[in-house]
Amino acid sequence: MRHVDFSPLYRSTVGFDRLFTMLDSLGQPENGQTYPPYNIERTGENAYRITMAVAGFAEDDLTIEAKANVLKVAGAKADDAQDDSREVLHRGIASRAFERRFQLADYVEVKGAELENGLLHIDLEREIPDSMKPRKIEIAKGNGASTPQIEAKAQN
């Protein structure tokens, strides 16, 4: 297993700590986490949607939290009182607790979430502030006479 030490770069850069943390985490697997399955779609120029298959979970069983560029979706099913009159012969519908984290880019905000037909849809939108958007700078047209020219003295 290869591990890259970014500590020398921490000393010579300012404001890139999160970048190095993300690079460092790329080498670490997510513990093989595959449940629940999900899709990430681009629905517009600055709009995205995460769709997670959460069959068997109700709205009250799911929590969605966005904090510091991390979106955390967790699900925990309340313990149902087991009915002694029935016996489950095969359990193919998973109802185990889960927690899934997504790294969000800067200026990406969660706009809403809805649960429909066992699918949890989370809508995201990237809202870049006006101060960060590119702006066009006009070039002033001037005549050359307004700038004084300095003549060099001739050396004897």
Are 125 and 111 spatial neighbours (Cβ–Cβ below 8 Å)? yes
Range of the domain at 27: 1-32
Residue 14: inside a domain: yes
Any alpha helices (H) in 15-115, and if so which ranges? Answer: 17-26
Residue 113 β-bridge partners: 122
Residue 68: inside a domain: yes
- Return the pLDDT at 127: 87
Q: Give the pLDDT mean for 69-95.
A: 78
**Would the pLDDT of 75 be above 70?**
yes
71/45 same-domain check: yes
Are 69 and 103 spatial neighbours (Cβ–Cβ below 8 Å)? yes
**Would the pLDDT of 49 be above 90?**
yes
**Would the pLDDT of 1 be above 70?**
no
- Give the type of residue at 75: G
Question: Which tokens in the block code for residue 37?
Answer: 């399955």
Nearest to 5 by CA among 24, 22, 19: 24
Give the three-class secondary structure for 124: strand
- Cβ neighbours of residue 77 closer than 8 Å, sequence gap 6 or more: 56, 57, 61, 95, 96, 97
59/74 same-domain check: yes
Residue 135: inside a domain: no
Q: Give the highest mean pLDDT range of 6-15, 83-92, 134-143.
A: 134-143
Q: Give the pLDDT mean for 72-87.
A: 76
Residue 87 β-bridge partners: none
Q: Give the pLDDT mean for 45-68.
A: 91
1/18 same-domain check: yes
Alpha-carbon gap, residue 111 to 93, rounded angstroms: 29
Is the full-model pTM beyond 0.75?
A: no
- Return the pLDDT at 10: 59
63/115 same-domain check: yes
The dihedral formed by the CA atoms of 12, 69, 54 and 37, expressed in degrees to the nearest 10? -30
Q: Give the pLDDT mean for 38-55.
A: 91
- Return the pLDDT at 110: 92
3/63 same-domain check: no
Nearest to 58 by CA among 77, 35, 83: 77
For the chain, the average pLDDT equals: 79
50/106 same-domain check: yes
Count of domains for the chain: 2
> 11-32 pLDDT, tens per residue?
555 555 566 666 666 655 555 5
Omega of the bond leading into 36 within 30 degrees of 0 (cis): yes
40/97 same-domain check: yes
49/122 same-domain check: yes
Residue 63's CATH number? 2.60.40.790
Residue 153: inside a domain: no
Residue 122: inside a domain: yes
19/95 same-domain check: no
- Return the pLDDT at 96: 82
> 90-137 pLDDT, tens per residue?
877 767 889 999 888 888 899 999 999 989 999 999 888 888 778 888
69/22 same-domain check: no
Residue 108: inside a domain: yes
Are 71 and 64 spatial neighbours (Cβ–Cβ below 8 Å)? yes
53/102 same-domain check: yes
